[in-house]
């Protein structure tokens, strides 16, 4: 494959049993359909074990993740899905990115629409250990929902162990959790919805290099996803 091609490595999390559609190329062109040069999909369990490595036809516009991952893991299991894509900068003068719809089974609420977290290429344009810590953040709405907030984190690195600090802010107060992830491992941690009467307002993740990070919220009764969105880098 030509060394002139640019890489785009993106990561999402899939729960078996959910409907999950990935839009491989979100950008549209009036005169021609843009497409990636190649896309490979690898799936990992929480312990970092590869469960499958699936080539994808880059001409496909929509990828049915639930169908593609059928037979990998059990119902309700969270899997880390890594999209390893290559694109030609002559075709994409800007960096492409993936978007997705996820919908829990039999859920009455509409599907959740989100941008797939780019950890190499894409946005932001950085990966790997540097001398500067990587900060990512997410701001919550002030309204109260009957949900349990949390954070899904994955380490896309092949060799490096990731150490991260998670800060949850409640007004002037904050709670801290430390997370250690071996290569390709991922986890979900819970966040308190309130602290001394103050609602959760912001969450930050600090790590030496960029992780796959998604904020989520589950409905208190059913456990269904009510929020799924990646954090945003604001300092690098």
For the chain, report the end-to-end CA distance as a whole number of angstroms: 31
Domain boundaries, the chain: 6-120, 134-235
Backbone angles phi, psi at 110, to 5 degrees: -70, 165
pLDDT tens digit string along 147-180? 899 999 999 998 899 999 999 999 999 999 999 9
Please determine whether the domains at 6-120 and 134-235 fall in the same fold group of CATH: yes
CA 132, distance to chain mean position in Å, is: 22
CATH of 6-120, one of 2.10.25, 2.60.290, 3.40.50, 3.30.565: 2.60.290
| Two structure tokens written together for 85 | 């894509």
Who has greater pLDDT, 168 or 4? 168
pLDDT tens digit string along 174-222? 999 999 999 999 999 999 999 998 999 999 999 988 899 999 998 887 7
pLDDT tens digit string along 111-146? 899 989 888 744 334 444 444 568 889 998 766 556
pTM of model > 0.85: yes
CATH of 134-235, one of 3.10.450.30, 1.10.287.70, 3.40.50.300, 2.60.290.11: 2.60.290.11
């Amino acid at each position: 494959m030509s060394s002139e091609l640019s890489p785009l490595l993106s990561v999402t999390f899939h729960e078996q049993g959910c409907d999950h559609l990935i839009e491989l190329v979100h950008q549209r062109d009036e005169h021609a359909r843009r497409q990636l040069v190649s896309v490979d999909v690898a799936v990992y369990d929480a312990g970092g074990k590869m469960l499958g490595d699936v080539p994808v036809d880059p001409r496909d516009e929509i990828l049915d993740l639930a169908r593609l991952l059928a037979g990998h893991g059990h119902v309700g299991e969270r899997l880390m899905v890594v999209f390893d894509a290559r694109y030609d900068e002559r075709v994409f003068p800007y960096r492409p990115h993936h978007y997705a719809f996820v919908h829990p089974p039999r859920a009455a609420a509409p599907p959740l629409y989100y941008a797939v977290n780019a950890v190499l290429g894409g946005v932001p344009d950085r990966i790997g250990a540097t001398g500067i810590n990587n900060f990512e953040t997410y701001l919550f709405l002030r309204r109260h929902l009957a949900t349990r907030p949390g954070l899904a984190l994955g380490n896309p690195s092949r060799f490096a162990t990731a150490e991260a600090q998670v800060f949850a802010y409640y007004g002037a107060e904050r709670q801290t959790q430390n997370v250690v992830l071996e290569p390709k491992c991922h986890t979900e941690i819970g966040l308190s919805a309130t602290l001394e009467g103050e609602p959760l307002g912001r969450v930050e993740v600090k790590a030496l290099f960029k992780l796959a990070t998604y904020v989520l919220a589950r409905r208190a009764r059913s456990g269904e996803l009510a929020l799924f969105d990646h954090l945003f880098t604001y300092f690098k």
